[in-house]
Amino acid sequence: MPMLNFTYHNPVKIVFGRGSIAQLPRLVPADAKILMIYGGGSIKRNGVYDQVIASLKRNPPAEFNGIEPNPRYETCLKAVEQVKAEGFDFLLGVGGGSSLDAAKFIAAASVYKGKNPWDMMTNWARVPADSLPVGCVLTLPATGSEMNGGAVVNREETKEKLFFNSPHSFPRFSILDPEATYTLPSRQTANGVVDAFIHTTEQYLTFPADAPLQDRQAEAILLTLIEEGPKALAEPRNYDVRANLMWCATQALNGLIGCGVPQDWATHALGHELTALYGIDHAQSLAVVLPGMLRHQRERKRAKLLQYAERVWGIVAGTLRVPQPGPEEEDARIAQAIERTEEFFRSLGVGTRLSDYDIPAEAVELVASRLEKRGVKLGEHGDLEKKSIVEILALRV
């Protein structure tokens, strides 16, 4: 298959490096009426809150806090009320992907013309056509939200975790200061590595599209995450390591590696259900699903899995115990690459089984039924049906 036609347009201004929060006054419009959106207070402990407030002292932002780790629709709606009531015209998301996604959702919902902002997530015709401007200060590299137009939000009432993606929802700027990530708990650092890794595989482990540059750009991210991830856990205050992880996570989901190639995202679809139903972290849900997805889909992803085995894990023909070249030797290489992937996640402390999170076996049928009911077409061929989903999750009990 030849490279697919594509449009790439990513107008986010990235301001990267030590001390870059101090550039906020130059990035925010001078007369903006700013509402700062953040989470549970980690930014108060790590000094980012103080840096933001200090840099904006001539135009102090109002605040909306309490965004949950998987931001809730119900919470976002409260912020929308505040935006409308007090006339804020610039939203500053400060934190990880949750605070950034919440800021994007609130910014779009505040100017949404329809009756029910949740429609932006469920109805493609109602994806945001407008938004208040948003700026971001990132403290947790993982979701790539700082450089894309997407937002994922959870609705408690219906236990749904859904997303939109709109060209109107790109942040105007995102500040990425690696020092802001020094104090992340290990679990969040590890989650970020896994999240960026699987954002990459969703755009890479599909079928060949004669796009060697995009393939190598994806492999560049995977190789760097494998190198730097463990270092970040061992040396949380190593600037270089934190900077590299931060830039990897951004590059993994800013659209670049997906240009002109098929994309999967089935692991995300299943993972979102697990998070919505059982509350496990996003990255945890992905680490559970991916090994099953790759094992189950290994024939259809065969060519790319062999390339992945060789270029990312160094598993080349002739190095395994099965010496005869042929399909069996290839199978062994693929199996080993998937094992290495799962081991990598586990080595970071991220569980890869439903049982690691005490999720009951009933989840298998429940997730599959929910996805079937929603009628979504999954996988790079858009044809993963309920039977396959059950089989994939059954591999992860």
* Backbone CA torsion sign across 117, 118, 120, 125: negative
Q: Give min distance, CB of 91 to its own copies, in A.
A: 20
Distance CA 209, CA 381 (A): 13
Structure tokens at 319: 């190095």
Give the range of 17-25, 63-71, 181-189, 341-349 binding its own copies by CB under 8 A: 17-25
Q: Give min distance, CB of 259 to its own copies, in A.
A: 7
Give yes or no for residue 200 binding its own copies (CB under 8 A). no
Give yes or no for residue 318 binding its own copies (CB under 8 A). no
Q: Residues 50, 86, 157, 227: which binds its own copies (CB under 8 A)?
A: 227
Give yes or no for residue 232 binding its own copies (CB under 8 A). no
Give yes or no for residue 228 binding its own copies (CB under 8 A). yes
Distance CA 206, CA 334 (A): 14
Give yes or no for residue 223 binding its own copies (CB under 8 A). yes
Give yes or no for residue 383 binding its own copies (CB under 8 A). no
Q: Count residues binding its own copies (CB under 8 A).
A: 43
Q: Residues 94, 153, 213, 329: which binds its own copies (CB under 8 A)?
A: 213
Q: Residues 21, 79, 94, 248: which binds its own copies (CB under 8 A)?
A: 248
Give yes or no for residue 256 binding its own copies (CB under 8 A). yes
Q: Are strands 134-138 and 90-95 parallel, antiparallel or unpaired?
A: parallel
Task: Give the Cα-Cα-Cα angle 334, 340, 342 (nearest 5 degrees).
Answer: 105
Q: Give min distance, CB of 9 to its own copies, in A.
A: 4
Residue by residue, DSSP assigns 279-326 as ---HHHHHHHHHHHHHHHTTTTTHHHHHHHHHHHH---TT-SS--S-S
Distance CA 51, CA 104 (A): 22
Map residue 42 onto helix, strand or coil: helix
Give yes or no for residue 216 binding its own copies (CB under 8 A). yes
Give yes or no for residue 211 binding its own copies (CB under 8 A). yes
Give yes or no for residue 22 binding its own copies (CB under 8 A). no
Residue by residue, DSSP assigns 100-119 as HHHHHHHHHHTT--SS-TTH
Instruction: Return the axis-axis angle of helices 266-278 and 186-202, rounded to nearest 10°.
Output: 140
Nearer to its own copies, 219 or 273 (CB): 219
Give the range of 4-12, 49-57, 300-308, 345-353 binding its own copies by CB under 8 A: 4-12
Give yes or no for residue 14 binding its own copies (CB under 8 A). yes
Give yes or no for residue 220 binding its own copies (CB under 8 A). yes
Tell me how crowded residue 187 is: count the other CB atoms within 10 A of its CB: 15
- Residues 111-130 within binding reach of its own copies (CB under 8 A): none
Q: Give min distance, CB of 6 to its own copies, in A.
A: 5
Terminal Cα distance for the chain, rounded: 36
Distance CA 87, CA 243 (A): 36
Query: Burial code of 64-86, b = ≥16 C-beta within 10 A, e = fewer?
Result: bbbbbbbbbbebbeebbebbeee
255: left (phi over 0), alpha (psi -120 to 50) or beta: left
Give yes or no for residue 10 binding its own copies (CB under 8 A). yes
Nearer to its own copies, 65 or 254 (CB): 254
Nearer to its own copies, 242 or 370 (CB): 242
Q: Give min distance, CB of 342 to its own copies, in A.
A: 23
Structure tokens at 330: 């290839």
Give yes or no for residue 7 binding its own copies (CB under 8 A). yes
Give yes or no for residue 133 binding its own copies (CB under 8 A). no
Nearer to its own copies, 210 or 328 (CB): 210
Give yes or no for residue 260 binding its own copies (CB under 8 A). yes
Contacts with its own copies by CB under 8 A lie at 2-20, 210-214, 216-217, 219-221, 223-224, 227-228, 239-240, 243-244, 247-248, 251, 256, 259-260
